Amino acid sequence: MERVIDRFIRYTKIHTTSDPKSNTFPSTARQHQFADLLVTELKEIGMHEVEKDKNGYVMATLPANTSESCPTIGFVAHMDTSPDFSGENVNPQIRKYKGGTIQLNDKVSIDPAQFPDIQNYIGQEIITTDGNTLLGADDKAGIAEIMTAMQYLIEHPEIRHGKIRVCFTPDEEIGKGADHFDVEKFGAKFAYTLDGGEIGELEYENFNAAMATITIKGRSVHPGAAKNKMINAIVVANKLLGMLPAEQRPEHTEKYEGFFHCVSFNGSVEEAKMIFIIRDHDMQKFEHKKALIKQLCQTLGLRYGADRVILDMKDQYYNMREKVEPVKYIVDLAEEAMKEVGVTPIKRAIRGGTDGSRLSYMGLPCPNIFAGGHNFHGPYEYVPTKSMIKAVEVIIRIAEKVVTLGNVS
């Protein structure tokens, strides 16, 4: 089990950040390089049918070691790290947490006042960054856990299990992780993403998600002669921002509360562009939020000209609950597995999305299981080593328990 730690540290040092501005798939060549390394390692531990396709997806099989009839299951994790913060030259630090503030460098620290969850791990060994990069537990912890669990099952043939498929995907962090996922080729009845946070997380609900790009076309006139002529695109864009309900911004929401989030705002007098992400677990509220964005653009269009306020809005993914609830036994199976290895399940809705949300709508029901990390996408990221070991145990226990399912429709 301790191998999961060495494996994870080795993976974190490999630069795999995805690039939302790229037109290639995967978005960065470095993800192909990591995929090649994983292919080699999967073969070395004894996995079968190991391959990387042209899009960078890595798939492999652990054949069944029992003649009992049971469904083929899968485990999925993603190879890329978030472009929100540097993932290059990661220098992981292992320490025993004794409480109090962890000083990562002269400028960055993990203070329990800001990150109270850290206090749950007093006395445990944790892995942090050095304050200059993210860590990459999202989702290299998941890859390390799946890899270690597969190796353990291969080395312990006395543990009965059915056929298991694994897949490591590119570009999850930029919303493209399932774009070229071949569900039919994967061939699993259901799967689990190892892409959750703290120990015990078990999730089968996520946001419905859309992205809205709003372009404001202004009219630039010399300010000395601008009266009744100039249309300042920056001012119009700010008007739109101010018309949205302030209480529905991310910094004011939690749990099942959705939001409007302006993730980008660039502009000049002549043109301004705003990018919003729109999120809600409830489909009706989600549709209302999209309708409000459309209405506000139309209102400003009536004032300044419809051709000056241009809206491009697209759905990104939907709440997996609709697809998972009909096969709820797969959530119950994971919950039981956690309890049996001494982990208290924490069932909550994801305030985000995973590959699993899209895969569920592609015909592969795919709840999400904890990988153990905290404070993803920034220098405050950390992962307790015990949480990673427990994730490995959960994977192994799920594999064992699937044998008891027999044929399932």
Mean pLDDT, to the nearest integer, of 259-281? Answer: 96
253, 284, 316 - which closes a domain: 316
> 137 and 34, same structural domain?
yes
Q: What is the CATH number of the domain that holds 83?
A: 3.40.630.10
Residue 51: CB atoms within 10 A of its CB come to 12
Share of the chain above pLDDT 70, in %: 99
Report the number of distinct structural domains present in the chain.
2
> 196 and 81, same structural domain?
yes
> 198 and 141, same structural domain?
yes
Mean pLDDT, to the nearest integer, of 330-343? Answer: 97
> 149 and 109, same structural domain?
yes
The single residue of 41, 80, 195, 280 carrying the catalytic annotation is 80
Mean pLDDT, to the nearest integer, of 348-359? Answer: 88
Specify the pLDDT at position 19: 94
> 167 and 109, same structural domain?
yes
The single residue listed with the structure tokens 């990387």 is 52
> 18 and 133, same structural domain?
yes
Active site residue 247: no
User: Does residue 406 carry a pLDDT above 80?
Assistant: no
Strand 73-78 relative to strand 164-169, pairing: parallel
What contacts 328, CB < 8 A, 6 or more positions away?
Answer: none
Active site residue 381: no
> 8 and 94, same structural domain?
yes
Q: Where are the beta strands (DSSP E) in 163-303?
A: 164-169, 190-196, 201-203, 208-217, 259-267, 271-280
Q: What is the CATH number of the domain that holds 271?
A: 3.30.70.360
Q: Which of 95, 240, 63 is nearest to 160 (CA)?
A: 63
> 239 and 139, same structural domain?
no
316, 342, 366 - which closes a domain: 316
> 222 and 130, same structural domain?
no
**Model pLDDT for residues 47-73, shown as the tens digit of each residue:** 999 999 999 999 999 999 999 999 999
**Model pLDDT for residues 202-239, shown as the tens digit of each residue:** 999 999 999 999 999 999 999 999 999 999 999 999 99
User: Does residue 192 carry a pLDDT above 70?
Assistant: yes
> 14 and 32, same structural domain?
yes
> 309 and 236, same structural domain?
yes
State the DSSP code for 251.
G
Specify the pLDDT at position 248: 96
Q: What is the pTM of this model?
A: 0.90
Is residue 76 a contact partner of residue 57, using CB atoms and an 8 Å limit? no
> 399 and 343, same structural domain?
yes
Identify the band that residue 311 occupies on the pLDDT scale cut at 50, 70 and 90.
very high
Residue 236 belongs to what domain range? Answer: 208-316
| Rounded-to-integer distance, Cα 302 and Cα 300, Å | 5
The single residue of 138, 139, 145, 172 carrying the catalytic annotation is 172
299, 316, 333 - which closes a domain: 316
Mean pLDDT, to the nearest integer, of 392-400? Answer: 98
